């Protein structure tokens, strides 16, 4: 893989909280135009990695290159320009309860000079159609929508502005299998139509299998495996095997809460 083919390159990234290592020499390559899915147990550092790439959390050491340029220690207009290339969908949708759907979708665009409320509202309606929702929902509030609709509004917000990089954190969490499949198809279609690069975090292995070009697994703050989607079920890596095949026994030890009577 040449440097020219890479959209994101993370090298030896370290981050500790209160002396505990949360990212441990984490390295990851994301190819231009691919959908890379991150899997791994809770607490593996997946969401933290995305926050660190976004600059919301400052790494203790290591390197982050986006489009071949150093993405660390940006501030002011440089940081604003850097963030504008990202679209982010949060695990719990992250919608503002007090704003109608169109303002949720166009929140970032409303901060930019030259965008009128009508322009942003029309763009929001277009993105609602892109995620399979009626444009008539623009004036509804999040509380009036089902969980599946809220997820789609969150994805529409990530898509508005046509970002070159998408970060989607647990896009199908809490959804039934049918709605999960709807979201999976929306992700693939919209990423391909935009020509974007995407990192998807998911605990849903059906989602991982459906949307991914490649899958990377994290454990204890490190990448321990990465490969094409059709390789993940065949690998003999013990961590990947245990996680993918949902085995109780293996090298991944889950904390067990003590019970007192």
pLDDT at residue 259 greater than cutoff 80: no
For residue 80, what is the domain's CATH number? 3.40.50.300
Domain end call among 129, 162, 195: 162
Polymer length of the chain: 261
pLDDT at residue 78 greater than cutoff 90: yes
Task: State how many domains the chain has.
Answer: 2
Half-sphere exposure of 124 (CA within 13 A, CB side): 26
pLDDT at residue 84 greater than cutoff 50: yes
pLDDT band at 4 (very low <50, low <70, confident <90, very high): low
Half-sphere exposure of 235 (CA within 13 A, CB side): 21
Domain range spanning residue 150? 95-162
The pLDDT of residue 260: 45
The pLDDT of residue 255: 64
| Structure token pair of residue 123 | 């763009």
Q: What percent of the chain has pLDDT over 70?
A: 95
pLDDT at residue 1 greater than cutoff 70: no
Could you read off the pLDDT of 111-160 as tens digits, one per residue? 888 889 999 999 999 999 999 899 999 999 999 999 889 999 999 999 99
The pLDDT of residue 174: 86
Do 99 and 221 fall within a single domain? no
pLDDT at residue 257 greater than cutoff 60: no
Domain end call among 162, 191, 212: 162
Question: What's the whole-number mean pLDDT along residues 82-107?
Answer: 90
Task: Dump strand ranges (E) for the chain.
Answer: 6-17, 20-31, 35-39, 61-66, 69-70, 86-89, 165-169, 197-201, 214-219, 222-228
Region for 148 from its dihedrals, namely left if φ exceeds 0, alpha if ψ lies in -120 to 50, beta otherwise? alpha
* 61-66 and 165-169 strand pairing: unpaired
The pLDDT of residue 261: 43
Half-sphere exposure of 90 (CA within 13 A, CB side): 8
Task: State the chain's mean pLDDT as an integer.
Answer: 92
CA distance 231 to 228: 5
What pTM value is reported for the model? 0.90
Q: Which residues pair with 219 in a beta bridge?
A: 222
Do 71 and 196 fall within a single domain? yes
Domain end call among 137, 162, 187: 162
Region for 158 from its dihedrals, namely left if φ exceeds 0, alpha if ψ lies in -120 to 50, beta otherwise? alpha
Q: What percent of the chain has pLDDT over 90?
A: 80
Do 75 and 175 fall within a single domain? yes
The pLDDT of residue 94: 80
Burial (CB count within 10 angstroms: exposed 0-12, middle 13-18, buried 19+), residue 19: exposed
Out of 62-66, 72-76, 200-204, least confident range: 72-76
Out of 77-91, 199-213, 246-260, least confident range: 246-260
Half-sphere exposure of 143 (CA within 13 A, CB side): 3
Do 244 and 218 fall within a single domain? yes
Could you read off the pLDDT of 188-212 as tens digits, one per residue? 999 999 999 999 999 999 999 999 9
The pLDDT of residue 115: 87
Is residue 90 one of the residues assigned to a domain?
A: no
The pLDDT of residue 90: 84
Do 181 and 153 fall within a single domain? no
Could you read off the pLDDT of 233-244 as tens digits, one per residue? 999 999 999 999
Question: What's the whole-number mean pLDDT along residues 61-79?
Answer: 92
| Structure token pair of residue 2 | 């040449």
pLDDT band at 3 (very low <50, low <70, confident <90, very high): low
Asked if residues 145 and 153 have their Cβ atoms less than 8 Å apart, the reply is yes
| Structure token pair of residue 79 | 């940081």
The pLDDT of residue 26: 97
């Amino acid at each position: 893989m040449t440097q020219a083919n890479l959209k994101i390159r993370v090298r030896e990234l370290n981050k500790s909280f209160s002396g505990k290592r949360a990212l441990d020499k984490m390295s990851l390559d994301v190819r231009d135009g691919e959908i890379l899915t991150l899997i791994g147990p809770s607490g593996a550092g997946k969401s933290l990695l995305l926050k660190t790439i976004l600059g919301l959390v400052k790494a203790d050491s290591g390197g982050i290159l986006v489009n071949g340029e150093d993405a660390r220690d940006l501030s002011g207009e440089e940081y604003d320009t850097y963030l504008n290339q990202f679209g982010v969908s949060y695990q719990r949708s992250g919608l503002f309860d007090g704003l109608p759907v169109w303002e949720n979708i166009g929140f970032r665009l409303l901060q930019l000079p030259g965008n009128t409320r009508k322009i942003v509202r029309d763009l929001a309606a277009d993105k609602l159609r892109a995620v399979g929702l009626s444009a008539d929902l623009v004036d509804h509030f999040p509380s009036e929508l089902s969980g599946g609709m809220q997820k789609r509004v969150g994805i529409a917000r990530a898509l508005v502005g046509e970002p070159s990089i998408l970060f989607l954190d647990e896009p199908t969490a809490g959804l039934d299998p049918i709605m999960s499949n709807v979201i999976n198809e929306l992700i693939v279609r919209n990423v391909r139509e935009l020509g974007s690069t995407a990192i998807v975090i998911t605990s849903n292995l059906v989602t991982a299998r459906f949307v991914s070009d490649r899958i990377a697994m994290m454990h204890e703050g490190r990448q321990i495996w990465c490969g094409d989607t059709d390789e993940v079920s065949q690998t003999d890596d013990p961590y990947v095997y245990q996680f993918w095949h949902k085995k109780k026994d293996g090298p991944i030890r889950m904390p067990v809460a003590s019970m007192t009577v």
